Structure 1
Amino acid sequence: MASATFGRASKSGLAAETHNKLQRKYDEARASEVSSWINLVLNDQSVNTSGKAEDFYESLKDGVVLCRLANELQPGSIKKIEMSKMAFKCMENINNFCRAANSMGVPTTELFQSVDLWERQNLNAVVICLESLGRKAGKFGKPSIGPKESDKNVRDFSEDQMRASEGMIGLQMGSNKGATQSGINFGNTRHM
Structure 2
Amino acid sequence: MAGLRAPKAGSARDAQIRIDAAFDPVEGRRCLEWIRELTGENFVTDAGPEKYRVVDNFWKVLRDGFLLCKVLNVVVPDNLKCNFNAPTFRPTANPQFQAARERERIELFNRKLEEFGVSPDNCFLVDCLYERTNLWQVAASIRALGTEFESRPSFTGMRWWPRKAEANPRNFSDEVLNAGNTIINLQYGSNKGASAKGMTFGKKRMIMKE
TM interval, short-chain normalised? 0.7 to 0.9
Is 1:66 the counterpart of 2:80? The answer is no
Is 1:97 the counterpart of 2:112? The answer is no
Is 1:49 the counterpart of 2:45? The answer is yes
User: What amino acid maps onto 1:115 in structure 2?
Assistant: D
CA contact (8 A) 1:70 1:97 kept: yes
Following TM superposition, by how much is the alpha carbon of 1:10 offset from its aligned partner in structure 2, in angstroms? 2.6
Following TM superposition, by how much is the alpha carbon of 1:126 offset from its aligned partner in structure 2, in angstroms? 0.8
Is 1:83 the counterpart of 2:89? The answer is yes
Per the alignment, residue 111 of structure 1 pairs with: 123
Pairwise mapping of residues 136-155 of structure 1 onto structure 2 (< 5 A)? 136-140=148-152, 141=155, 143-155=158-170
TM (norm. structure 2) is 0.73
Following TM superposition, by how much is the alpha carbon of 1:100 offset from its aligned partner in structure 2, in angstroms? 2.1
Of 94, 109, 133, 2:145 maps to 133
User: What amino acid maps onto 2:66 in structure 1?
Assistant: V
CA contact (8 A) 2:31 2:139 kept: yes
Per the alignment, residue 33 of structure 2 pairs with: 36
Give SS of 2:34's match: helix
Question: Structure 1 residues 184 and 8, CA, compared in 2 at 3 Å: closer, same or farther?
Answer: farther
- State how many pairs are aligned: 185
Q: Which runs of 5+ in 2 are unaligned?
A: 48-53, 92-97, 205-210
User: What amino acid maps onto 1:182 in structure 2?
Assistant: A
Give SS of 2:150's match: helix
Measure the CA separation in 1 of the matches of 2:104 and 2:197: 70
Give SS of 1:56's match: helix
Measure the CA separation in 2 of the matches of 1:127 and 1:17: 21
Of 24, 28, 34, 1:27 maps to 24
Measure the CA separation in 1 of the matches of 2:188 and 2:161: 39
Following TM superposition, by how much is the alpha carbon of 1:102 offset from its aligned partner in structure 2, in angstroms? 2.4
Measure the CA separation in 2 of the matches of 1:91 and 1:107: 21
Q: Which runs of 5+ in 1 are unaligned?
A: none
Measure the CA separation in 1 of the matches of 2:83 and 2:36: 21
Question: Structure 1 residues 110 and 47, CA, compared in 2 at 3 Å: closer, same or farther?
Answer: farther
Q: Which segment is superposed worse, 46-55 or 123-132?
A: 46-55
CA contact (8 A) 1:95 1:114 kept: yes
Higher-Rg member (1/2): 2
